[in-house]
Amino acid sequence: MIEISSTENIIPPVVKSIRINLTVEAAFRLFTTEITRWWPLASHSVFGDEAVSCHLEGFVGGRFYEVHKDQRQSEWGRVTVWEPPRRVAFSFYPGRKLDDSTEVEVTFQPEAGGVRMTLTHRGWEHCSPQFQAERDGYDRGWDLVLGKYAQSAAAAD
Amino acid sequence: MTDISPFEALSDPTRRKLFERLRRGPCSVNELVEAVPVSQPAVSQHLRVLREAHLARVEKQGQQRIYSLDPRGLIELRAYVDSLWDQVLDAFQQAAQRESQESTLNPSTKEPGHD
C-alpha cells in the first residue's frame, strides 16, 4: 500500500515568477531592505489600515515584521537564508505563531537586461498566512473569523 | 450549500493540529484522538468541520474509519495563497518599474541616500 505522506504530493508549492527591469542588485535590495517602499500594507498586513511600515532585516535570523501606527509590531517571519543579491528565504507566519510557520524563498537570476525573480512558498497548506485585510471579498468568513484571530494572535505576542 | 470555508475551519488550533496530523498520512480516529488533548466527542466534532470544509475525508476500511486529506480544500487554500502573492508581486513590479524609470531619467543621481 502506498501512503501519501505529504501534501506536496497532492498540491505543489505556490511558485511565482516575474521579470523585472532592474539589475540583480537593485531588485534584491528593493525586495528586501527597501520592502516598505512597495509592500501593499493596507491589504497585506495584520494591522491593515493601521500598519505604517514593514521591514525585513538583512541577515540570517533577521526579523520580518510590520509596525502599527502606535509602534506595536507584528512579526511575519524570520530570515533563514541571506545570500545577496541572488537568494533570500524566510519563514512566514503573519498573524500566526512561530510554530505555525511556512517557508518563502525568493531567487534573482539575471536575464536579458533584467532579472527573473522566482518566489516559492512552501508549507502554505500547513498554515495559510492570516493577513487581516483580505476584505475585498475572497471569502466573507475570512475577515470575520480569521481577522479577529490574527489580531489576537498578534496581541498575544 | 452550508459548507464551511477551509480558512474558517483552520482558524481553530485543535483543528489545525488534526489537519497537521493528517498531512503526515491517513489515520484512524484513535490516532487522531491521540494527537490532540481533547475528548473523543470533541475530536469527532472537529473532524466533522474539517470534512465540511473539504479538508478531510473519511473512508471505511474494514471495521475502521480512516481519515485522510481532501485535496478540494487544499486547492482552495492554494488559490488564496496564489492570489495573495499575485497582489504582492504586482506591487513589487510596479515599484521596480518606477525605480527603473527613475534611473533612466536621472542616470547621474545614483548616490546612496537619493530618494
**Inter-residue contact A46 to A131 (CB < 8 Å):** yes
- Residue type (1 letter), B44: S
**Inter-residue contact A108 to A27 (CB < 8 Å):** yes
- Among chain A residues, CA nearest to B102: A22
**Where residue B51 sits, what CATH number does that domain have?**
1.10.10.10
Q: Which residues of chain B fall short of a pLDDT of 50? A: 1, 109-111, 113-115
Greater confidence, A48 or A87?
A87
Asked whether residue B78 is domain-assigned, the answer is: no
By a Cβ cutoff of 8 Å, what residues of chain A touch chain B? 3-7, 10-11, 14, 16, 18, 20-22, 26-27, 30-31, 37-40, 43-44, 100, 117, 119, 121, 124-129, 131, 134, 138-139, 141-142, 145-146, 149
Q: Which of B27, B99, B105, B109 to mutate to test the interface with A (most CBs of A within 10 A)?
A: B99
* Percent with pLDDT over 90 in chain A: 50
Nearest CB to B85; choose among A37, A43, A119: A119
pLDDT at A140: 33
**Inter-residue contact A100 to A151 (CB < 8 Å):** no
Calculated CA dihedral for residues B74, A146, B1, B38, nearest 10 degrees: 80
pLDDT at A125: 64
A10-25: average pLDDT: 88
Distances (CA, A) of B1 to A146, B4, B15, B51: 21, 9, 21, 14
Model confidence pLDDT, tens digit, residues A134-154: 333 333 333 333 333 344 344
- Among chain B residues, CA nearest to A24: B96
Residues pairing with A111 in the sheet: A114
Tell me the average pLDDT of chain A. 78
| C-alpha cell, A6 | 505529504
Which range of residues forms the domain containing residue B28? 6-70
Q: Which helix (H) or strand (E) holds B107?
A: none
Identify the architecture of domain A11-146 in CATH: 2-Layer Sandwich (3.30)
Nearest CB to B89; choose among A119, A138, A139: A119
3-state secondary structure A26-51: HHHHHHCCCHHHCCCCCCCCCCHHHE
pLDDT at A11: 66
pLDDT at A12: 80
Asked whether residue B88 is domain-assigned, the answer is: no
CB contacts, 8 Å: B97 with chain A:
21
Predicted complex ipTM exceeds 0.90: no
**Inter-residue contact A123 to A33 (CB < 8 Å):** no
Confidence of residue A126 (pLDDT cuts 50, 70, 90): low
Nearest CB to A14; choose among B4, B68, B85: B85
Buried b (16+ CB within 10 A) or exposed e, A58-86: eeeebebbbbbeeeebbbbbbbbebeebe
Q: Is the pTM of this model over 0.95?
A: no
By a Cβ cutoff of 8 Å, what residues of chain B touch chain A? 4-5, 7-8, 10-11, 16, 20, 23-26, 68-69, 71, 74-75, 77-78, 80-89, 91-97, 99-100, 103
Q: Is the pLDDT of residue A13 over 80?
A: yes
pLDDT at A4: 40
pLDDT at A58: 97
Contact assignment for A129 to B94 by CB distance below 8 Å:
no
Nearest CB to A3; choose among B20, B23, B26: B26
Confidence of residue A129 (pLDDT cuts 50, 70, 90): low
Domain boundaries, chain A: 11-146
pLDDT at B10: 81
pLDDT at B72: 87
Model confidence pLDDT, tens digit, residues A39-68: 999 888 888 888 999 999 999 999 999 999
Asked whether residue B45 is domain-assigned, the answer is: yes
The count of structural domains within chain B is 1
